[in-house]
Structure formats: structure tokens, C-alpha cells
Structure 1
Amino acid sequence: MEALYLTIPMAMCIAAFFLYVFITAFRKGQFEDIESPKYRMFFEEEEYPQSKSKPNQTDGPTSKS
């Protein structure tokens, strides 16, 4: 019975923390669009031409042995 005096307030604090996190995420618009991300993988990404402003610029990381 004595353990309940400690665990119930701790559980309430944890629940309040997660409620606070949920409310802040909701206010920031985290749950605005829940439909389009699951369809995003079906569309091909468009490749844009890269501007070569530096003459020694490489396209990606290279490994040297």
C-alpha cells in the first residue's frame, strides 16, 4: 500500500509530461497533414542540374585508398 503513495504521483507526472509534449507538437502543426507522407514514396524525385561554381568541386564523396 505504501508503494502506491510513490508510484501514483510519479505516473501522474509522466502522464502530464507526455500530454505537454503532445499539445506542443499539435500547436506546432505536427499533425496537419497525415495523408500525403505515405504517398510521397510513389513519386519520383526530380533531379535539378547542379551549378558548378567551383572548378574543383566533385559530385559526391570519394574514397581514396
Structure 2
Amino acid sequence: MEALYLTIPMAMCIAAFFLYVFITAFRKGQFEDIESPKYRMFFEEEYPTESKQTKTNSPDGPTSKS
């Protein structure tokens, strides 16, 4: 019985923390669009290329990565 005096308030604090985290995520728009992320893998994306300035400033010149 004495353990309940400790575990119930701890459970309430943990529940309040997760409720706070959920509300802040909801307000920031985390859950606005739940459909489009699963379709992103079907679209081709161009990866960013290195700028010419970083390639010319390297002392070894452009290197090839395998």
C-alpha cells in the first residue's frame, strides 16, 4: 500500500510530461501532414553538388570517391 503513495504520483508526472510534449509537437505542426511522407521515396531528388569554389581551393584538386 505504501508503494502506491510513490508510484501513483510518479505515473501522473510522467503522463503530464508526455501530454506536454504531445501538445507542443501538435502546436508546432508536427502532425499536420501525415500522408505525404510515405510517398517521398517515389520522387527523384537531385542531391546538392559541391560548389566550384570548394573544389578549386583544395590543394590536391578534385578527388574521386569510390
Following superposition, the deviation at residue 33 of structure 1 comes to 0.6
* Aligned residues between the structures: 61
Which residue is equivalent to 1:31? 31
Question: Where does the alignment leave 5 or more consecutive residues of structure 1 unmatched?
Answer: none
Counterparts of 1:20 and 1:59, CA distance in 2: 49
Over 3 Å counting, the alpha-carbon distance change for 1:49 and 1:40 in structure 2 is: same
Please give the per-residue CA displacement for 1:1-58, whole angstroms capped at 9, x wherever unaligned: 1100100000000000000000000000000110000000011113566541241454
Report the secondary structure of 1:53's partner residue: helix
Which residue is equivalent to 1:52? 52
Greater per-residue helix proportion:
2
- State the TM-score, normalizing by the size of structure 2: 0.75
**Equivalence map 1:5-44=2 (5 Å):** 5-44=5-44
Q: Show structure 1 runs of 4+ deviating over 6 A.
A: none
- State the TM-score, normalizing by the size of structure 1: 0.76
Over 3 Å counting, the alpha-carbon distance change for 1:59 and 1:25 in structure 2 is: farther
